[in-house]
Structure 1
Amino acid sequence: MTERVNLSKASPQLYKTVAEMDQLAVQAAHDAGWSDGFAHLLKLRASQINQCAFCVRMHARDAAAVGESADRLSVLPAWRESGYFSDKERAALALMEAVTLVSQGQVPDDVYDAASAVLDPAEIASVEWLAIVINAWNRIAISSRYPVRP
């Protein structure tokens, strides 16, 4: 594999700014009532879609470390077919996926309408900010080819 420019080392101030934005998004999620574990599951789901191995491993570990169950971690890619998630969590997962896949539908009205039916504005905003930040992290890790070794 070709060695890539490590964006965190090449532009440390920009990297630090993304980290600060991440902290603010996590705080917004906490303030909106999302558990730390579910916030990691949201980040994990976007990372799965983006195929970011570095972030998938990190957020799976982080979610488990704060008490998310192995079952919820295991069924996350198939959350629609499981009974492990509440209506609010399901709306948040759908919104996270839509923002992550923004090039494939521009966050469809039906997804947003379903989210707004069960989530308040702070919950919606926090999910969207988590999506924005994790998608930035995924692109940093993938383009820099952050190593993922056993």
Structure 2
Amino acid sequence: MTKVTDPYAAAPTLMKQWTATGFAVEKSLDKTLVELVKIRSSILNGCANCINMHTIDARAHGETEQRIYLLAAWHEAPVYTDRERAALAWTDALTRMSEGHTQKAAKDALEAHFTPEEQVNLTLLINIINGWNRIAVGFDLWYEGGVLVKAA
């Protein structure tokens, strides 16, 4: 097995602060919506570790297999509410910024379904999960039950 850098061991103070910020943001939004956004972002970023963790969490909060599987093609799937679709569109727009996509349509949908405070909270959530994706992919992390068990 390749040596793995455990971010919590390497930078405990900042990682604890990063985690606490993530938990605070998550508490400000509906848990189902939080998990859908985390899974979608993780799909876009190719983070197997995060897809694994957040699909488990989503199921634990009552999410259906159908809705989890369809996140890969949510645009065509009629199983999401308008509010969820707005959140997923905003997730796609922010996660794929480097691809030159415009955020106008996603921002319009966001404003139609979320208060200004919720818009900021959702944007913070998307930034945090994108950060986690980069930490997990960058350090080849694989967590099972909150324990670092192996790297890819």
TM range (shorter): 0.7 to 0.9
Letter paired with 2:8 = S
- Counterpart of 2:85 (choices 77, 90, 107) is 90
Identical columns (%):
35
Number of the residue aligned with 2:105: 110
Matched, 1:147 2:138: no
Number of the residue aligned with 2:12: 12
Unaligned runs of 5+ in 2: 144-149
Structure (1 or 2) with the greater helix fraction:
1
Q: Per-residue deviation at 1:17? A: 1.1
Number of the residue aligned with 1:131: 126
1:94-130 Cα deviation digits (max 9, x unpaired): 0011111222237622221222123221221221111
Change (3 A) 1:120 1:140: same
Unaligned runs of 5+ in 1: none
Letter paired with 2:92 = E
TM-score with structure 2 setting the length:
0.86
Matched, 1:71 2:66: yes
Query: What is the distance in 2 between the residues matched to 1:147 and 1:87?
Result: 33
Letter paired with 2:107 = Y
Aligned residues: 144
Deviant stretches of 4+, over 6 Å: none
Find the residue that maps to 1:98 and give its secondary structure.
Answer: helix
TM-score with structure 1 setting the length:
0.87
Letter paired with 1:84 = V
Number of the residue aligned with 2:146: none
1:8-28 Cα deviation digits (max 9, x unpaired): 211111111110110111022
Structure (1 or 2) with the greater strand fraction:
2
Query: What is the distance in 2 between the residues matched to 1:123 and 1:107?
Result: 21
Query: What is the distance in 2 between the residues matched to 1:115 and 1:37?
Result: 17
Q: Per-residue deviation at 1:65? A: 0.6
Q: Give the CA RMSD over aligned residues.
A: 1.8
Matches within 5 A, 1:17-28: 17-28=17-28
Query: What is the distance in 2 between the residues matched to 1:6 and 1:103?
Result: 28
